[in-house]
Structure 1
């Protein structure tokens, strides 16, 4: 395909890091030295969401998210009543299903369930939604929020290699701020798992990127320093 289109028309290649795609990228790089290898930023961030979701502390809340949403999606009767109740309570968004491979959808699903909890509570004859579940759901949504929103932004056709570095840095800063918050009730072991997973994916994505492409793109991006320069004036 490259030969048919013209090698000089290609400046970069991006893909996930499976065996076949890695070999293909390396072969292309060997044949066309000017082509830059760009690790898939959204895929790596999605994998970080998956890593965090595998932490034992969040197993129960994720199971409850999936069970709750599955029930309302399969029961047209329950879904109709939920929709009516949402309108009465002025809750705009409905429930969002969990994707099988897009791991950041766990955030969107959890956030949608969090918004709909008042409506769901009013439909239940018994108080089956515990304060602990709501608290853990809020914790889980807060942790995944910067990652999920960054993925949405980086999937834009207007995103640049500089944006990749900026959004990864911002996401890591948000995670750090959350787990170091003095009022945070997470166990130290859970915080350490989140920290280790975040550091691993950041190093994999940014520090080990070929040619330091994302950091270089950020440093050479005039937008990265124009705001600071404007303030200094």
Structure 2
């Protein structure tokens, strides 16, 4: 590594350090440089590839997918639902009692055996895939949380969350559950691609293949009638626009 805690890590600094490593090994042994798209690293890649024209400038494919998931998560159709997901998870992360009761509630094996409990997942600030992981985990626990709330075993400080689980037939609950399902289904192809591309065995061609696979999966999902997919045309068009824009940025 390069020690530079007392220096500004601008594009020139990053490019210079990488160039030293390349020169030490030999430029003929490098095909590309890759990084996320923060200002200094993106500019450093360009400086480096302008200087060594045999090296390609590549973005970090996983970082790009994370940002695509962020764009989808920021859609107005999903923001209220994800805000509620955060509030629910926050309660369980701070209440050992509620977590214990939920764990017991999910021990409902047909033969008296415990079923594996899928723990609720906290949402990270920059790991946008955790939005989907959190939503997916919560979806599996909704009936259990609803049962615990209606039987007064647990209660939420947030009146919005408490009201959500005490009245399943309310419009608020129906909208929340639908939004959760829509989000899980539309983001799932990106998540699966992300998991594969994070592998140390993934190569550059896999990036293109899995972006195409994600697009094909979304096309198949959005081609179904709304009463089957649960996804309205406007939402589908917004997600398609995000996918196309991010695809063009990368390729």
TM range (shorter): 0.7 to 0.9
Unpaired stretches in structure 2, ≥5 consecutive residues: 1-20, 110-114, 151-164
- TM-score, normalised to structure 2, is 0.76
State whether structure 2 residue 71 is matched by structure 1 residue 46.
no
State whether structure 2 residue 232 is matched by structure 1 residue 187.
yes
- TM-score, normalised to structure 1, is 0.82
**CA–CA separation in structure 2 for the residues paired with 1:134 and 1:111:** 11
8 A contact 1:91–1:115 mirrored in 2: no
8 A contact 1:107–1:140 mirrored in 2: yes
State whether structure 2 residue 157 is matched by structure 1 residue 132.
no
Structure 1 equivalent of residue 92 of structure 2: 72
Range moving further from structure 2, 170-179 or 3-12: 3-12
State whether structure 2 residue 206 is matched by structure 1 residue 163.
yes
State whether structure 2 residue 196 is matched by structure 1 residue 196.
no
8 A contact 1:179–1:191 mirrored in 2: yes
8 A contact 2:178–2:230 mirrored in 1: no
Q: CA deviation at 1:11?
A: 2.4
Whose RCO is larger (CA < 8 A, sep 6+)? 1
Aligned CA RMSD, in angstroms, stands at 1.8
User: Between Structure 1 and Structure 2, which shows a larger proportion of helix residues?
Assistant: 1
**CA–CA separation in structure 1 for the residues paired with 2:218 and 2:66:** 15
State whether structure 2 residue 158 is matched by structure 1 residue 115.
no
**CA–CA separation in structure 2 for the residues paired with 1:158 and 1:119:** 39
State whether structure 2 residue 108 is matched by structure 1 residue 102.
no
Q: CA deviation at 1:108?
A: 0.5
8 A contact 1:94–1:116 mirrored in 2: no
Question: How many aligned residue pairs are there?
Answer: 206
**CA–CA separation in structure 1 for the residues paired with 2:217 and 2:74:** 20
**CA–CA separation in structure 1 for the residues paired with 2:46 and 2:67:** 22
State whether structure 2 residue 187 is matched by structure 1 residue 144.
yes
- Find the structure with the greater CA-based Rg: 2
Unpaired stretches in structure 1, ≥5 consecutive residues: 207-233
8 A contact 1:61–1:137 mirrored in 2: yes
Q: Deviations over 1:129-153 (max 9, x none)?
A: 5233222211111111110111111
